[in-house]
């Protein structure tokens, strides 16, 4: 009996009867010339159309997955594709996005670029996806490729970073599938655990420094000879003022009103996407003004002039080496924010005031209050941070 007889179908019932095999194969529609169903080893069935472009090169278009797309709809869509092919429009679409690098560029332009901080995602896509794996053809893209991308990152111990890249990839492949650039999402069935990403931060999300640890930390900063005065000052400032480190790194001198002791963080620098004000106690202002001015004695432009990761890397180095400068449990700049919040509770600061000191929403406590109570608690926040300032200065 011949094994080369083409597999065909002519109805929905025929598609349902198509068997699953160890290798992917295609079945032809006898009722519509050119329409095929591709059957994957995992049982997924998708309509495709194979054709030749104007230059004679073979190409294929994925119409949709069965049964989400019915046979009737697939045949109608095929007629539209044939019409686009005859006018040359389909060739233009096919020539655009063919590799993983192409997809990264398209995803960035359409989805990421409009976001508040697109440069962070762009850096991950460029360094961890495009540079080492960008030449992979979308038509050949597989789950193994996703695993290999992540393995390359976890192999250097960067599990937190690997988790962020994995999230980027999952979003990008959903985008690609929606645009019919890929037939199946190669990351759809994967989880972080499946591909060996450890959540290194999970156990450390309760790290809060004691007052004695803060004293030791400040002493180490004062005695450290290789750390710049800018970094030392920034880390001290973040202990007094519980803003996000990124908000301080991005800050400009024009945001500070030293007459009113107010720092206005613009919406473009805020995680919430909304501008907010920070009340500054005297010590925080003194720290800022201790930073070097320019040669004319002016303070313009960026306050710190450091890269995004400078503070976290500098802090991390204090715990490294045969004789680390700090021997306590390691912590990050974000843990300083948690530390301040925790000590505000210890000092009996009201929960809504303490949360507002961090620019947290009150929604989780009372959604109605968040909607109707638009008071910014600025005076109360200043009083709370002055209380924390007094506690710190007494200890230090």
pLDDT at 381: 95
Instruction: Note whether 236 and 159 are same-domain residues.
Output: no
Do both 90 and 114 map to the same domain? no
| Domain span including residue 121 | 100-199
Nearest Cα to Cα of residue 311 among 243, 257, 395, 393: 243
Shared domain check, 219 and 165:
no
* pLDDT number for residue 95: 52
- HSE-CB at 13 with a 13 A cutoff on CA atoms is 0
* Average pLDDT score over residue span 331-358: 95
Question: What pLDDT is recorded for position 372?
Answer: 43
Dihedral angle computed from the Cα positions of residues 80, 85, 91 and 94, in that order, rounded to the nearest 10 degrees: 40
How many structural domains does the chain have?
A: 3
CATH no. for residue 58?
3.30.160.390
State how far the Cα of 36 lies from the Cα of 81, in Å rounded to an integer: 14
Is the preceding omega at residue 67 within 30 degrees of 0, hence cis?
yes
365 and 344 belong to one structural domain: yes
**Which of 199, 222, 245 corresponds to the end of one domain?**
199
Report pLDDT for 51: 83
Residues 80 and 192 placed together within one structural domain of the fold: no
Instruction: Report the pLDDT averaged over residues 61-88.
Output: 86
Q: For residue range 260-309, list pLDDT tens digits in order.
A: 999 999 988 888 778 999 999 999 999 999 998 888 888 999 999 998 88
Residue 200 pLDDT exceeds 70: no
Same domain, 13 and 158: no
To the nearest whole number, what is the mean pLDDT of the chain? 87
**Cβ neighbours for 349, distance < 8 A, ≥ 6 positions apart:** 357, 384, 387
Report H helices in the chain.
Answer: 12-16, 71-87, 89-96, 100-107, 118-124, 131-133, 143-154, 159-178, 211-223, 229-240, 245-249, 282-289, 310-317, 333-346, 351-357, 367-372, 378-395
Residue that the structure tokens 């800050």 belong to:
251
C-alpha 175/C-alpha 181 separation (Å) is 9
- Domain-embedded: residue 219: yes
**Predicted local confidence at residue 258, as pLDDT:** 94
pLDDT at 332 over 50: yes
Q: Does the model's pTM come out above 0.85? A: no
Burial of residue 222 (CB within 10 Å: 0-12, 13-18, 19+) is: exposed
Q: In angstroms, how far is CA 255 from the centroid of its own chain?
A: 26
Averaged pLDDT for residues 158-173: 91
Tell whether 238 is covered by a domain. yes
| Judgement on whether residues 106 and 91 belong to the same structural domain of the protein | no
| pLDDT one-digit tens code per residue, 201-241 | 544 568 999 999 999 999 999 999 999 999 999 999 999 99
- Shared domain for 339 and 303, answered yes or no, is yes
Report the distance separating Cα 337 and Cα 236, nearest Å: 11
Cα angle value 136/138/142 (rounded, 5°): 80
**In this prediction, what percent of the chain has a pLDDT beyond 70?**
91
| CATH number of residue 155's parent domain | 1.10.150.130
């Amino acid at each position: 009996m011949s094994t080369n007889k083409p597999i065909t179908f002519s109805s929905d019932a025929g598609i349902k009867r198509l068997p699953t095999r160890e290798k992917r194969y295609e079945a032809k529609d006898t009722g519509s010339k050119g329409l095929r169903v591709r059957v994957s080893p995992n049982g997924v069935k998708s309509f495709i159309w194979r054709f030749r472009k104007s230059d004679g090169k073979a190409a294929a278009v994925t119409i949709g997955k069965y049964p989400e797309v019915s046979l009737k709809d697939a045949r109608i869509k095929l007629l539209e594709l044939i019409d686009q092919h005859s006018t040359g429009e389909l060739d233009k679409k096919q020539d655009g996005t063919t590799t993983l690098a192409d997809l990264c560029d398209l995803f960035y332009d359409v989805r990421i670029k409009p976001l508040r901080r697109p440069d962070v995602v762009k850096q991950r896509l460029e360094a961890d996806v495009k540079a080492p794996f960008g030449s992979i053809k979308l038509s050949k893209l597989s789950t193994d490729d996703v695993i290999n991308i992540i393995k390359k990152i976890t192999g250097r111990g960067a599990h937190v970073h690997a988790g962020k890249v994995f999230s980027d990839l999952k979003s990008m492949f959903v985008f690609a599938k929606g645009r019919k650039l890929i037939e199946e999402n190669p990351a759809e069935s994967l989880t972080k655990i499946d591909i060996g990403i450890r959540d290194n931060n999970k156990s450390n999300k309760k790290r809060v420094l004691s007052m004695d640890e803060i004293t030791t930390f400040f002493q180490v900063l004062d005695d450290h000879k290789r750390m710049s005065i800018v970094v030392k000052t920034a880390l001290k400032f973040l202990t007094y003022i519980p803003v996000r480190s990124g908000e301080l790194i991005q800050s400009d001198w024009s945001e500070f009103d030293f007459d009113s002791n107010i720092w206005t963080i613009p919406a473009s620098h805020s995680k919430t996407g909304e501008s907010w004000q920070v009340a500054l106690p005297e010590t925080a202002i003194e720290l800022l003004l201790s930073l070097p001015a320019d040669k004319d004695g002016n303070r313009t432009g960026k306050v710190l002039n450091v890269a995004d990761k400078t503070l976290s890397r500098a802090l991390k180095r204090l715990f490294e080496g045969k004789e680390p400068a700090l021997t306590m449990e390691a912590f990050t700049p974000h843990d300083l924010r948690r530390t301040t919040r925790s000590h505000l509770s210890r000092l009996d600061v009201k929960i809504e005031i303490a949360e507002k000191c961090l620019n947290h929403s009150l929604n989780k406590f009372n959604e109605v209050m968040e909607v109707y109570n638009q008071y910014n608690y600025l005076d109360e926040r200043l009083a709370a941070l002055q209380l924390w300032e007094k506690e710190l200065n007494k200890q230090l």
